[in-house]
């Protein structure tokens, strides 16, 4: 069967070839809506399909976006990616994803592969606070958008991590916790710094008589468990804020093994509200961001950058979801 061409669509719709070409490209400025509708109606009935390779040669674009994540198995960034990819598909873009494991050599190699494949722009979810690799790619003229983490002055779409941490700090202070520990993440991640910083500032304002310590760790179960084991041995706190739910789950597991009741003996709040958090033996209080909204916003922001438009950085609102891991806490009586 012969391939349907733009000339076939033009003949069927009774519209000039150049007008059909503009409609198919999405350039409908000064074209009447009824003409646009007629072109698409006949294109659909004839089975016309856009030749993306030819379009790429003409426009200099590939309609491909690259995305870097620390690891695609991370449920938080996987959710962001799925939403971004779905929105991209609705707009005829393809998204390529690469896991970097937060390793600079893997990141540089992935970025070079993206450049070699002529991606139109890159969404980076593994940026570090001081990040020359990301800045170098941006300096080369490739549109770059950050998501989840921040670095330098590059535009980003992030959850309001500082505000989320503040909600957790106010919550533990209101419960009466006064000896509080923050189990942080890696210091190179803005998410860790912002969540911990927001918590500390809010807790100190709400509980000036309280004490708060920040202990750096990782974003994984083992890190949370290891830090909590040290706290159990050295004198346990009455409140714990963990900047990642997986690490919070590790911390609560260690509490249980030590005979400590999460939520009663120690108030615990995590971050990200991953699906399993509400299904634990002691459901975990956690700060939630609208991750699908973050993915959709990230696609439209990178597309604006690709089109040469300025983009303002965006914070997606966060919400503290209170469950048994903190709601059941009874503050110790002073004396």
In the numeric block, which tokens belong to residue 62? 């590939």
Structure confidence by residue, pLDDT tens digits, 51-74: 544 554 455 678 999 999 999 999
CA distance 227 to 64: 42
Residue 278: DSSP 8-state: G
CA distance 321 to 289: 10
Instruction: For tokens 């950058």, name the residue.
Output: 305
What number is the average pLDDT over the span 119-132?
Answer: 93
CB contact at 8 A, 82 and 105: no
Phi, psi of 269 (to 5 degrees): -130, 130
Does residue 114 sit in the same domain as residue 177? Answer: no
Does residue 285 sit in the same domain as residue 224? Answer: yes
Structure confidence by residue, pLDDT tens digits, 171-209: 999 999 999 999 999 999 999 999 999 999 999 999 999
Does 138 reside within a domain? yes
Structure confidence by residue, pLDDT tens digits, 248-307: 999 999 999 999 999 999 999 999 999 999 999 999 999 999 999 999 999 999 999 999
Does residue 114 sit in the same domain as residue 227? Answer: no
| Residue range of the domain that includes 24 | 6-50
Query: Which of 274, 299, 282 has its CA nearest to residue 89?
Result: 299
Pairing of strands 94-99, 121-124: unpaired
Does residue 154 sit in the same domain as residue 168? Answer: no
Does residue 263 sit in the same domain as residue 299? Answer: no
In this structure, is the dihedral angle defined by the CA atoms of residues 15, 21, 26 and 28, taken in order, positive or negative?
A: negative
Largest interatomic CA distance in the chain:
90
Does residue 169 sit in the same domain as residue 259? Answer: yes
Pairing of strands 285-289, 318-321: antiparallel
Helices (H) and strands (E) in the chain, counts: 13, 12
Does residue 117 sit in the same domain as residue 68? Answer: yes
Distance of CA 285 to the CA centre of its chain: 20
Question: Counting beta carbons within 10 angstroms of the beta carbon of residue 270, is it exposed (0 to 12), middle (13 to 18) or buried (19 or more)?
Answer: buried
CB contact at 8 A, 185 and 244: yes
Does 1 reside within a domain? no
Structure confidence by residue, pLDDT tens digits, 221-252: 999 999 999 999 988 999 999 999 999 999 99
CB contact at 8 A, 157 and 301: yes
pLDDT at 122 over 50: yes
pLDDT at 1 over 60: no
Domain containing 302 — which CATH number? 3.40.50.2300
Does 333 reside within a domain? no
Distance of CA 243 to the CA centre of its chain: 14
Assign 3-state DSSP to the chain and report helix, strand, coil percentages, each to 5: 50, 15, 35
Structure confidence by residue, pLDDT tens digits, 255-269: 999 999 999 999 999
Domain containing 37 — which CATH number? 1.10.260.40
Does residue 299 sit in the same domain as residue 155? Answer: yes
Considering the entire predicted model, what is its pTM?
0.83
Does residue 313 sit in the same domain as residue 188? Answer: no
Does 57 reside within a domain? no
CA distance 53 to 225: 51
Structure confidence by residue, pLDDT tens digits, 73-111: 999 999 999 999 999 999 989 999 999 999 989 998 999
Does 335 reside within a domain? no
């Amino acid at each position: 069967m012969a391939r349907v061409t733009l000339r076939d669509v033009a003949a069927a719709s009774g519209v000039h070839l150049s007008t059909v070409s503009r409609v198919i490209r999405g350039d409908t400025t000064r074209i009447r809506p009824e003409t646009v509708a007629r072109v698409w109606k006949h294109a659909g009935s004839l089975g016309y399909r856009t030749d993306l390779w030819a379009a790429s040669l003409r426009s200099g674009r590939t309609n491909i976006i690259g995305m870097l994540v620390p690891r695609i198995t991370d449920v938080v960034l996987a959710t962001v990616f799925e939403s971004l990819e779905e929105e991209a598909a609705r707009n005829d873009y393809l998204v390529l994803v690469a896991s970097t494991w937060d390793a600079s050599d893997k990141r540089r190699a992935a970025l070079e592969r993206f450049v070699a494949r002529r991606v139109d722009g890159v969404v980076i979810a593994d940026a570090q606070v001081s990040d020359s690799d990301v800045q170098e790619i941006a300096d080369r003229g490739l549109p770059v958008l950050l998501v989840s983490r921040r670095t330098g002055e590059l535009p980003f779409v992030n959850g309001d991590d500082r505000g989320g941490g503040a909600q957790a700090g106010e919550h533990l202070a209101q419960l009466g916790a006064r000896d509080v520990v923050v189990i942080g993440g890696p210091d190179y991640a803005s998410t860790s710094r912002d969540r911990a910083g927001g918590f500390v500032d809010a807790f100190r304002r709400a509980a000036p008589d309280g004490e708060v310590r920040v202990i750096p760790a990782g974003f994984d179960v083992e890190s949370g468990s290891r830090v909590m084991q040290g706290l159990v041995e050295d004198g346990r706190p009455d409140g714990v804020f963990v900047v990642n739910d997986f690490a919070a789950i590790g911390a609560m597991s260690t509490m249980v093994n030590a005979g400590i009741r999460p939520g009663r003996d120690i108030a615990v709040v995590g971050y990200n509200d991953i699906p399993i958090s509400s299904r634990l033996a002691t459901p975990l209080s956690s700060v939630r961001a609208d991750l699908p909204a973050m993915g959709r916003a990230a696609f439209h922001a990178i597309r604006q950058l690709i089109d040469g438009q300025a983009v303002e950085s965006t914070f997606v609102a966060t919400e503290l979801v209170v469950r048994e891991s903190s709601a059941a806490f009874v503050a110790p009586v002073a004396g």
